[in-house]
Amino acid sequence: MKLNNMKIKSKVLVIFLPVIIVMILIGMWTINMITKSALNKNLEKSVEIVSNIASGAVKTGLEFADNETIAEALKYFKSDEQISFIRVKNNVDETVFFFRREGYPKIASNKSGEQEDNDYEFFSSKPVMSGTEEIGTVYVGISLEARDAALSFANTILNVLSIVGVLVLAALILFMATRFSKPIQGLAEIAEKLSDGDVQQ
């Protein structure tokens, strides 16, 4: 059906509804990106704080080359579901403690250097200092499951609100189009009668 042959309220719906839907989709995408960015910044700070705390926790164990003390100091970190990875290296680059949570890709316990952030984890490393001497390094990984769950929940809420918004706007557009089209239809009927020679209006 061509636009010229449509009734006024149908034309209004065809013109305005797609524009509104596109605007809502752009708004949803923007909100999603802003939310993801804010959550990522928060998690990056969190993993930095955790690696700082872990660095302080293993200091005594590294000073005395006592791996049991290091493991004891990190047992509470291992129990936190958000922590997915911990590696402690001494000052000669030997791994003295290694933890990798199940369900994540394997990382070699003797791999040197920092891990790169990916879609499911953020990583951070901190040197362990004894006075001015660096006696080791702590590497920590934090899971992004909580972030993904929060984003999923936010997207669900946004989708529901968007659908409700589109329905409400469509109803409002139909109401306004009907209200404005009635007088125009009345004038069109009068004009048609006048053209037929009926001047009793």
Q: Of 1-5, 28-32, 193-197, which gets the smallest average pLDDT? A: 1-5
Closest CA to 20 of 165, 171, 187: 165
pTM of the model: 0.70
The Cα angle at residue 91 between residues 63 and 96, in degrees rounded to 5: 75
| Three-state SS at 130 | strand
* Distance, C-alpha 62 to centroid of its chain: 38
| 70 in Cβ contact with 90 (< 8 Å) | no
Domains in the chain, CATH or no CATH each: 33-149 (3.30.450.20)
Q: Residues 83-113: pLDDT tens digits?
A: 999 999 999 999 999 999 998 888 866 665 5
Structure tokens at 47: 């993993």
What is the identity of the amino acid at 52? N
Q: Residues 22-69: pLDDT tens digits?
A: 888 898 889 889 988 988 899 889 999 999 999 999 999 999 999 999
| 88 in Cβ contact with 96 (< 8 Å) | yes
HSE-up of 28 (CA within 13 Å, CB side)? Answer: 20
